[in-house]
Chains A and B, each alone.
Chain A
Amino acid sequence: MNQERVQHRGASADGVYKGLLAGAAALVFVVVALIVYEVARGAEMSIRTIGWKFLTQTEWDPVADQYGALPYIYGTLVSSFLALLMAVPLGIGSAVFLAEIANRRIGSIVSFVMELLAAIPSIVYGIWGFFVLAPWLRAFIEPWLIANLGFLPLFRGFPFGIGMLNAGIILAIMIIPTIVSISREVLLATPATLREASLALGATKAESIGVALDAARPGILGAIILALGRALGETMAVTMVIGNTNRISLSLLDPGATMSSIIANEFTEATGALYLSALIQIALVLFAVTIVVNGLARALVHFATGGRRDVAGAA
Chain B
Amino acid sequence: MIRFNRRFVTLSLAGLAVLVLGAGIAGAAVNLTGAGATFPYPIYSKWFDMYHEKTGVQINYQSIGSGGGIQQVKAGTVDFGASDAALSNARLKEMPRRVLHFPTVAGAVVVSYNLPSVTQPLKLTSDAIVSIYLGKITMWNDKRIAAINPGVELPNAPILPVHRSDGSGTTNIFVTYLSAVSSEWKELVGANTSVSWPVGIGGKGNEGVAGLVRQTPGAIGYVELAYAKQNKFAVAHIKNSSGNFVEPTLASTTAAAEGASAALAKDVRTPIVNSPAPNAYPISGLTFLLVYQDQKDPAKAKALADFIRWSMTEGQDVAESLDYAKLPAPVLKVNEATLMTLTSSGKRVLAAK
Contacts and interface: CB of A to CB of B under 8 A. Distances in A.
Interface string A263-288: 01111111111001000000000000
- Which among A135, A138, A243, A268 has the highest number of chain B CB atoms within 10 Å? A268
Interface string B178-212: 00000000000111111111001111100010011
Contacts of A130: 208, 211
Contacts of B68: 268
Interface in A106-142: 130-131, 134-135, 138
Contacts of A265: 165-167, 194, 202, 204
Given A268-B167, A270-B167, A271-B66, A63 B201 contact: no
- Which among A130, A135, A270 has the highest number of chain B CB atoms within 10 Å? A270
B50 interface: no
B188 to A, nearest CB: 10
Interface stretch (A47-55, A78-86, A158-166): A158-166
Nearest to B211: A130
Contacts of B64: 268
Interface in B56-79: 64-68, 70-71
B166 A255 contact: no
Given A63-B191, A268-B166, A158 B202 contact: no
Contacts of A163: 201
A255 B67 contact: no
A28 interface: no
A227 interface: no
B169 A135 contact: no
Contact of B193 (A61, A160, A271): A271
B67 A244 contact: no
Nearest to A268: B65
Contacts of A240: 204, 208
Contacts of B301: none
A16 to B, nearest CB: 9
B207 to A, nearest CB: 9
Interface in A201-233: none
A59 B196 contact: yes
A267 B193 CA distance: 11
B85 interface: yes
A64 interface: yes
Contact of A273 (B94, B160, B195, B200): B94
A135 B215 contact: yes
A115 to B, nearest CB: 29
Contact of A62 (B66, B70, B193, B200): B193
Contacts of B335: none
B6 interface: no
A241 to B, nearest CB: 10
B194 A62 contact: yes
A227 B167 CA distance: 30
B195 A269 contact: no
A155 interface: no
B91 to A, nearest CB: 7
A123 B81 CA distance: 29
Contacts of B208: 130, 240
B341 interface: no
Contact of B165 (A134, A158, A244): A244
A153 B113 CA distance: 30
A271 B85 contact: yes
A19 to B, nearest CB: 14
A59 B166 CA distance: 17
B121 interface: no
Contact of A64 (B38, B165, B190, B216): B190
A137 B195 CA distance: 28
A245 interface: yes
Contacts of A131: 211, 215
Given A160-B160, A161-B215, A273-B94, A268 B67 contact: yes
B168 interface: yes
A239 interface: yes
State the 3 A-B residue pairs at the shortest beta-carbon distance, nearest first.
A268-B65, A269-B167, A244-B202
22 contacts: A63-B196, A131-B215, A138-B216, A158-B160, A160-B160, A160-B216, A161-B216, A240-B208, A245-B200, A246-B197, A255-B201, A264-B166, A264-B204, A265-B202, A266-B167, A267-B67, A268-B38, A268-B65, A268-B66, A269-B65, A271-B83, A271-B91
